């Protein structure tokens, strides 16, 4: 573990094994990290996966944030050290009331431990990652009113959303600590532990098509095939979160975080087809012609065979994919695009080429032995 002084910033990344969490740990540990050098603690509900490098953390903590006693037991040993909390974890349920109860309880339990002793707490800033469900609502199959590009001062939608509740929870602690909210788009990164991993979902779909000699059919609509969408590179998201955590001008602000460009699913599909050597098939009409979600429910055995034959890190198709959520995104009736103007005006100028990002993270998933090397 690195030596700690009273001035050392100490980060606790909750959800460290997900796409955003892994990139945060890597970014914080770089010698060039803003505000550094950092001491980095990482936490997750499950044991550390084999692909996670131990050099990225000074300490890995396994605990159940829904259990206040387990949270206190495992975080009390570091509660007087943590200066920055990076909250990049979520649990998803079938209804928003359950999402609100679960996710607000987890964050409340952690904040309680880190702030319970006001005289010894060092917590200065909390980073909250949310997403564009802030603008379109929690039900992707029945997305609410939208008027892209989405911008941060849009009025909240008039129905429950756990993102709103988490934002209000942080604001209620003012002025004990400052906070920042980061609204990502579709996150492109590398992990087998993220609930919503569209890249891994599409990669497994392509590999299953290749194995079965089936065409790589686009499951979305003609509209999304031809119109614009955006994405958030996990590394860029980490950079923005660290920037906001150490920049006075960014305190108590919400920021969109996308790559700064747009893409069409036609272009995205072309790149995936080239990478995995499959035949791309565009949509024929305005509505998807086949039930992709139901079809993929029957492909778990095919993925098991791919894992076994290539000696991959053991995963189950239903645990590493989000076919339902991906299907909803590829059938939106609007362009899924967020404005990055506010972020730029406040001083964060990072950007990423999305199609290059796609290739980079596929290669990273191969290096992590989550996807086959070829």
Catalytic residues, by residue number, are 133, 163
DSSP 262-318: -EEHHHHHHHHHHHHT--EE--SSSS-SS-HHHHHTT-HHHHHHHHHHHTPPP--HH
Q: Which is nearest to 282 in space by CA: 344, 222, 366, 196?
A: 222
Q: Which is nearest to 92 in space by CA: 322, 326, 328?
A: 322
Pull the structure tokens for residue 322. 């989000």
- Pairwise CA distance, residues 229 & 55, whole Å: 35
Residue 122 three-state SS: coil
- Pairwise CA distance, residues 194 & 167, whole Å: 21
The greatest distance separating any two alpha carbons of the chain, rounded to the nearest whole angstrom, comes to 64
Continuous segment of H or E residues that includes residue 356: helix 354-367
- Pairwise CA distance, residues 31 & 38, whole Å: 9
Residue reference for tokens 């362009």: 335
- Cβ 127 vs Cβ 253: under 8 Å: no
- A 10 A CB-CB count for 356 gives 13
- Pairwise CA distance, residues 353 & 366, whole Å: 20
Check whether the bond before 315 is cis (ω within 30° of 0).
no
């Amino acid at each position: 573990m690195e030596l700690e002084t009273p001035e050392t910033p100490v980060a606790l990344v909750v959800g460290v094994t997900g796409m955003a969490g892994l990139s945060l740990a890597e970014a914080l540990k770089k010698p060039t990290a803003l505000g550094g050098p950092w001491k980095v603690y990482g936490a997750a509900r499950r044991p550390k996966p084999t692909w996670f490098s131990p050099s990225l953390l000074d300490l890995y903590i396994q605990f159940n944030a829904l259990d206040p006693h387990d949270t206190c037991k495992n975080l009390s040993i570091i509660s007087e050290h943590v200066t920055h909390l990076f909250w990049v974890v979520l649990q998803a349920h079938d209804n928003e009331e359950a999402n609100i109860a679960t996710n607000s309880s987890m964050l409340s339990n952690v904040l309680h431990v880190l702030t319970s002793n006001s005289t010894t707490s060092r917590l200065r800033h909390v980073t909250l990652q949310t997403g564009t469900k802030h603008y379109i609502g929690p039900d992707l199959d029945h997305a609410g009113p939208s008027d892209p590009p989405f911008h941060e001062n849009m009025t909240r939608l008039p129905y429950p959303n756990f993102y709103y509740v988490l934002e209000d929870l942080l604001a209620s602690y003012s002025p004990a600590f400052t906070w920042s909210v980061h609204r990502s788009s579709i996150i492109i990164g590398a992990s087998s532990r993220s609930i919503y991993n569209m890249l891994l979902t599409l990669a497994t779909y392509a590999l299953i098509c290749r194995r079965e000699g089936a065409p790589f059919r686009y499951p979305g609509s003609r509209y999304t095939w031809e119109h614009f969408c955006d994405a958030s590179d996990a590394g860029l998201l980490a950079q923005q979160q660290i920037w906001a955590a150490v920049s006075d001008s960014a305190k108590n602000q919400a920021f969109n975080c996308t790559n700064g460009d747009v893409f069409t699913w036609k272009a995205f599909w072309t790149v995936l087809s080239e990478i995995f050597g499959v035949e791309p098939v565009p949509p024929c009409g305005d509505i998807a012609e086949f039930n992709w979600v139901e079809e993929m429910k029957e492909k778990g055995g095919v993925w098991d065979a791919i894992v076994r034959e290539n000696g991959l890190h053991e995963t189950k198709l239903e645990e590493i994919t989000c076919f339902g959520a991906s299907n909803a995104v590829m059938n939106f009736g609007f362009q899924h695009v967020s404005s990055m103007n506010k972020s730029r005006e406040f001083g964060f100028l990072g950007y990423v080429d999305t199609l290059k990002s796609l290739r980079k993270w596929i290669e990273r998933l191969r290096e992590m032995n989550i996807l086959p090397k070829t």
